[in-house]
Amino acid sequence: MTIRHHPDDETLLSYAAGALRPGPALIIATHLEACAECRRAVARLEAAGGLLLTEMAPAELSTGALEAVMARLDRPQALPSRVVPLPVRRQPRLEDLALPMALAACDVGPWRRVAPGVRVSRVRVPNDPKAKVIMLRVAADKQMPRHGHTGIEFTQVLTGSFSDTGNHYRPGDFVAAEEGIDHQPVVGGEAECISLAAIEGRIQFRGLIGRLLSPFAGL
Protein backbone atom coordinates (compact mmCIF):
# COMPACT_ATOMS: atom_id res chain seq x y z
CA MET A 1 0.00 0.00 0.00
CA THR A 2 1.55 3.29 -1.09
CA ILE A 3 0.13 6.11 0.96
CA ARG A 4 0.43 9.55 -0.59
CA HIS A 5 -1.90 11.67 1.48
CA HIS A 6 -1.22 12.07 5.22
CA PRO A 7 -2.56 14.23 8.05
CA ASP A 8 -0.51 17.43 8.36
CA ASP A 9 1.93 17.98 11.24
CA GLU A 10 -0.48 20.17 13.15
CA THR A 11 -3.13 17.45 13.10
CA LEU A 12 -0.66 14.76 14.19
CA LEU A 13 0.52 17.03 17.00
CA SER A 14 -3.06 17.58 18.17
CA TYR A 15 -3.60 13.82 18.08
CA ALA A 16 -0.39 13.13 20.03
CA ALA A 17 -1.38 15.73 22.61
CA GLY A 18 -4.84 14.17 22.99
CA ALA A 19 -6.41 17.42 21.81
CA LEU A 20 -8.59 16.01 19.03
CA ARG A 21 -12.18 15.11 19.73
CA PRO A 22 -12.97 11.37 19.67
CA GLY A 23 -14.50 11.39 16.15
CA PRO A 24 -11.56 12.97 14.30
CA ALA A 25 -9.12 11.09 16.59
CA LEU A 26 -10.67 7.81 15.40
CA ILE A 27 -9.93 8.71 11.77
CA ILE A 28 -6.30 9.52 12.67
CA ALA A 29 -6.01 6.23 14.61
CA THR A 30 -7.31 4.41 11.51
CA HIS A 31 -4.74 6.19 9.35
CA LEU A 32 -1.91 5.35 11.78
CA GLU A 33 -2.87 1.69 11.58
CA ALA A 34 -2.15 1.78 7.86
CA CYS A 35 0.73 4.28 7.84
CA ALA A 36 4.13 3.49 9.41
CA GLU A 37 5.44 6.94 8.46
CA CYS A 38 2.79 8.75 10.53
CA ARG A 39 3.14 6.23 13.38
CA ARG A 40 6.82 7.18 13.61
CA ALA A 41 5.94 10.88 13.50
CA VAL A 42 3.42 10.51 16.35
CA ALA A 43 5.91 8.45 18.41
CA ARG A 44 8.47 11.26 17.98
CA LEU A 45 5.92 13.88 19.03
CA GLU A 46 4.85 11.85 22.07
CA ALA A 47 8.49 11.36 23.09
CA ALA A 48 9.12 15.10 22.71
CA GLY A 49 6.04 15.86 24.84
CA GLY A 50 7.20 13.46 27.57
CA LEU A 51 10.66 15.02 27.57
CA LEU A 52 9.14 18.46 27.97
CA LEU A 53 7.24 17.29 31.06
CA THR A 54 10.23 15.58 32.69
CA GLU A 55 12.38 18.66 32.10
CA MET A 56 10.00 20.92 33.99
CA ALA A 57 11.61 21.69 37.37
CA PRO A 58 9.38 20.79 40.31
CA ALA A 59 9.84 24.36 41.58
CA GLU A 60 7.84 25.58 38.60
CA LEU A 61 4.74 24.06 40.15
CA SER A 62 3.03 26.72 42.16
CA THR A 63 1.89 26.13 45.70
CA GLY A 64 -1.41 24.33 45.68
CA ALA A 65 -0.82 22.84 42.23
CA LEU A 66 -1.03 19.29 43.57
CA GLU A 67 -4.28 20.07 45.37
CA ALA A 68 -5.65 21.59 42.17
CA VAL A 69 -4.75 18.49 40.19
CA MET A 70 -6.29 16.19 42.81
CA ALA A 71 -9.47 18.30 42.83
CA ARG A 72 -9.65 18.00 39.06
CA LEU A 73 -9.33 14.24 39.30
CA ASP A 74 -12.30 14.20 41.67
CA ARG A 75 -14.47 16.02 39.14
CA PRO A 76 -16.37 14.14 36.43
CA GLN A 77 -13.92 13.08 33.77
CA ALA A 78 -13.54 15.14 30.65
CA LEU A 79 -13.96 13.19 27.44
CA PRO A 80 -10.73 11.46 26.51
CA SER A 81 -10.02 12.37 22.93
CA ARG A 82 -7.81 9.38 22.24
CA VAL A 83 -9.35 6.08 21.33
CA VAL A 84 -8.39 3.75 24.16
CA PRO A 85 -7.62 0.26 22.87
CA LEU A 86 -9.54 -2.57 24.47
CA PRO A 87 -7.39 -5.11 26.35
CA VAL A 88 -8.62 -7.94 24.15
CA ARG A 89 -9.24 -6.90 20.61
CA ARG A 90 -10.65 -9.02 17.89
CA GLN A 91 -10.75 -7.84 14.32
CA PRO A 92 -14.04 -5.95 14.05
CA ARG A 93 -16.24 -6.88 11.10
CA LEU A 94 -19.26 -5.58 9.30
CA GLU A 95 -20.85 -8.37 7.32
CA ASP A 96 -18.15 -9.58 4.91
CA LEU A 97 -15.87 -6.61 5.55
CA ALA A 98 -12.87 -6.74 7.95
CA LEU A 99 -12.68 -3.33 9.63
CA PRO A 100 -9.63 -1.49 10.99
CA MET A 101 -8.68 -2.46 14.56
CA ALA A 102 -9.22 1.19 15.55
CA LEU A 103 -12.96 0.49 15.25
CA ALA A 104 -12.85 -2.43 17.73
CA ALA A 105 -14.24 -0.28 20.55
CA CYS A 106 -16.93 1.29 18.36
CA ASP A 107 -20.50 0.25 17.76
CA VAL A 108 -20.71 -0.11 13.97
CA GLY A 109 -24.25 -0.07 12.60
CA PRO A 110 -25.52 -2.10 9.64
CA TRP A 111 -25.24 -0.87 6.06
CA ARG A 112 -28.25 1.15 5.07
CA ARG A 113 -28.98 1.97 1.46
CA VAL A 114 -29.65 5.69 1.19
CA ALA A 115 -29.61 5.96 -2.61
CA PRO A 116 -28.77 3.73 -5.58
CA GLY A 117 -25.16 2.67 -5.11
CA VAL A 118 -24.75 4.55 -1.82
CA ARG A 119 -24.79 2.82 1.56
CA VAL A 120 -24.02 4.27 4.96
CA SER A 121 -23.17 2.76 8.34
CA ARG A 122 -23.31 4.88 11.47
CA VAL A 123 -20.28 4.44 13.73
CA ARG A 124 -20.74 5.19 17.41
CA VAL A 125 -17.58 6.20 19.18
CA PRO A 126 -16.97 5.40 22.84
CA ASN A 127 -16.98 8.46 25.13
CA ASP A 128 -18.65 10.68 22.54
CA PRO A 129 -22.07 9.35 21.46
CA LYS A 130 -22.73 12.55 19.51
CA ALA A 131 -19.60 12.24 17.37
CA LYS A 132 -20.59 12.27 13.71
CA VAL A 133 -18.73 9.31 12.25
CA ILE A 134 -19.93 7.29 9.29
CA MET A 135 -18.68 4.67 6.89
CA LEU A 136 -19.68 5.40 3.36
CA ARG A 137 -19.83 2.64 0.75
CA VAL A 138 -20.24 3.95 -2.76
CA ALA A 139 -20.36 1.96 -6.02
CA ALA A 140 -17.65 2.26 -8.65
CA ASP A 141 -17.86 5.36 -10.88
CA LYS A 142 -20.50 6.89 -8.66
CA GLN A 143 -20.47 10.47 -7.47
CA MET A 144 -20.74 11.05 -3.75
CA PRO A 145 -23.30 13.60 -2.62
CA ARG A 146 -22.25 17.20 -3.27
CA HIS A 147 -21.89 19.00 0.03
CA GLY A 148 -20.43 21.93 1.88
CA HIS A 149 -18.99 22.17 5.38
CA THR A 150 -19.22 24.45 8.37
CA GLY A 151 -16.45 22.42 10.05
CA ILE A 152 -13.68 20.03 9.12
CA GLU A 153 -14.28 16.58 7.63
CA PHE A 154 -11.62 13.89 8.09
CA THR A 155 -11.80 10.91 5.74
CA GLN A 156 -9.72 7.75 5.57
CA VAL A 157 -9.97 5.54 2.49
CA LEU A 158 -10.42 1.87 3.41
CA THR A 159 -10.99 0.26 -0.01
CA GLY A 160 -11.36 1.50 -3.58
CA SER A 161 -10.53 5.07 -4.50
CA PHE A 162 -12.03 8.47 -5.21
CA SER A 163 -11.09 11.76 -6.79
CA ASP A 164 -11.72 15.09 -5.15
CA THR A 165 -10.60 18.63 -5.93
CA GLY A 166 -7.86 17.49 -8.30
CA ASN A 167 -6.41 14.66 -6.16
CA HIS A 168 -6.91 10.92 -6.34
CA TYR A 169 -7.17 9.07 -3.01
CA ARG A 170 -6.45 5.37 -2.60
CA PRO A 171 -6.57 2.87 0.33
CA GLY A 172 -4.63 4.22 3.31
CA ASP A 173 -4.90 7.84 2.18
CA PHE A 174 -6.19 10.52 4.51
CA VAL A 175 -8.16 13.56 3.38
CA ALA A 176 -9.02 16.66 5.39
CA ALA A 177 -11.78 18.79 3.88
CA GLU A 178 -11.51 22.22 5.40
CA GLU A 179 -14.33 24.39 6.58
CA GLY A 180 -16.02 26.22 3.73
CA ILE A 181 -15.12 23.72 1.00
CA ASP A 182 -17.92 22.66 -1.33
CA HIS A 183 -17.11 19.42 -3.10
CA GLN A 184 -18.35 16.27 -4.78
CA PRO A 185 -15.93 13.34 -4.60
CA VAL A 186 -16.17 10.81 -7.46
CA VAL A 187 -15.43 7.11 -6.89
CA GLY A 188 -12.89 5.41 -9.19
CA GLY A 189 -14.11 2.96 -11.82
CA GLU A 190 -12.08 -0.05 -10.61
CA ALA A 191 -14.18 -0.99 -7.56
CA GLU A 192 -16.58 0.32 -4.95
CA CYS A 193 -15.09 2.70 -2.39
CA ILE A 194 -15.46 2.33 1.36
CA SER A 195 -14.32 5.23 3.50
CA LEU A 196 -14.56 6.27 7.12
CA ALA A 197 -15.39 9.90 7.82
CA ALA A 198 -15.71 12.15 10.86
CA ILE A 199 -17.60 15.36 10.43
CA GLU A 200 -17.38 18.37 12.73
CA GLY A 201 -19.86 21.18 12.59
CA ARG A 202 -22.69 21.00 10.09
CA ILE A 203 -22.63 19.46 6.65
CA GLN A 204 -24.79 21.01 3.99
CA PHE A 205 -25.89 18.59 1.32
CA ARG A 206 -26.96 19.59 -2.14
CA GLY A 207 -29.24 17.55 -4.33
CA LEU A 208 -31.45 14.52 -3.75
CA ILE A 209 -28.93 11.99 -2.37
CA GLY A 210 -27.72 14.55 0.10
CA ARG A 211 -31.25 15.26 1.27
CA LEU A 212 -31.81 11.52 1.77
CA LEU A 213 -28.50 11.07 3.56
CA SER A 214 -28.78 14.08 5.80
CA PRO A 215 -31.47 12.96 8.29
CA PHE A 216 -30.14 9.41 8.43
CA ALA A 217 -26.63 10.37 9.41
CA GLY A 218 -27.93 12.90 11.92
CA LEU A 219 -25.97 15.62 10.22
Which residues lie near Zn ion (CB under 5 A)?
Answer: 6, 35, 38
Contacts (Cβ under 8 Å, ≥6 apart) of 64: none
Closer to Zn ion by CB, 6 or 82: give it.
6
Q: 183 - beta bridge partners?
A: 147
Work out how close the CB of 52 gets to Zn ion at its nearest, in angstroms, rounded to a whole number.
Answer: 24
In terms of CB distance, is 114 or 196 closer to Zn ion?
Answer: 196
Q: How far is the CB of 98 from Zn ion (least distance, A)?
A: 20
Looking at beta carbons only, is 20 or 108 nearer to Zn ion?
20
CB of 174 to Zn ion, least distance (A): 6
Rg (CA), the chain: 19
We find the least distance from the C-beta atom of residue 37 to Zn ion, in angstroms, to be 5
Which residues make Cβ contacts (< 8 Å) with residue 105, sequence separation at least 6? 83, 84, 85, 86, 126
Question: How far apart, in whole angstroms, are the C-alpha atoms of residue 122 and residue 111?
Answer: 8
167: which strand partners?
164
Cα separation, 31 vs 172, whole angstroms: 6
Dihedral, 162, 29, 135, 93 alpha carbons, nearest 10: 120
Q: In this structure, are strands 182-183 and 147-149 parallel, antiparallel, or unpaired? A: antiparallel
The residue (of 35 and 158) whose beta carbon lies closer to Zn ion is: 35
Give me the least distance between CB of 175 and Zn ion, in Å please.
12
* Of residues 6 and 183, the one with the C-beta less far from Zn ion: 6
